[in-house]
Amino acid sequence: MSYFEDSTEYQYENREKDGSVNIGWLDINHSYATGEVTTEFIDKLWIYLSFPINIYRGFHSCELCKKRTNDSVPTVFYKGEQREVGFHEIRVFSHNKKVYAAPTLIFHYIVEHQYKPPDEFIDAVLDGPEPGSAEYMELIEPFCTHVNKEVWWNIK
C-alpha cells in the first residue's frame, strides 16, 4: 500500500485530487501516532467499512504485522461480524466540510497496532453524517464510481 502522511492532500494513483485529506495510510517504514481511542469511535468506524469506495482488483495486507501474508484478503472481526479490508477506501465527512480519505485497513491499524488518528478525524467519525444516512449518501455521491454504486445498491 502507498504511504501518505496524515492530513496531507489525497491523491491516489493518477486520479484527480478530490479535495480529501489522507488519514491512516501507514507502512512499515514510517512512524505513526499511537494511543487509545474510545469504544464509541470504534463502533462508528466499523459502520464505515460497509460503505467502501474506490474498490480495487488487488489488495494490500498489513505491513505492520509480524506475520504478514500476501496470499489472502485481510479480514477484520468486530462484535461477531467480519469485513474484508485492504482493497478499498472510506470517506468521512466533518461538519466543517472537511473530507477524510482512509484505507479500510485503518480499522485494523487502530485495533491491532494502536494507531491513533488525528483528533479531527476522530471527531468527524463521531459527529459527522453517519454512513447510510440520507446526508451521507448525498455527500458521498461525487466520490463514487458507477461500480461503487452498483455494489452499494446490491448490498443495501
Give the span between the Cα atoms of 55 and 87, in whole angstroms: 6
Q: State pTM to two decimals.
A: 0.86
109-152: per-residue pLDDT in tens?
Answer: 999 999 999 999 999 999 999 999 999 999 998 887 644 555 55
Task: Specify whether the CB–CB gap between 104 and 49 falls below 8 A.
Answer: yes
Write down the pLDDT at residue 23: 96
Query: Which residues lie closer than 8 Å to 8 by C-beta, 6 or more apart?
Result: 21, 22
Beta strands in 35-137 (DSSP E): 75-78, 81-84, 89-93, 99-103
> Tell me: the pLDDT tens digits for 39-92?
999 999 999 999 888 766 656 778 888 665 555 667 889 999 999 888 889 999
Based on C-alpha coordinates, what's the Rg of the chain? 15
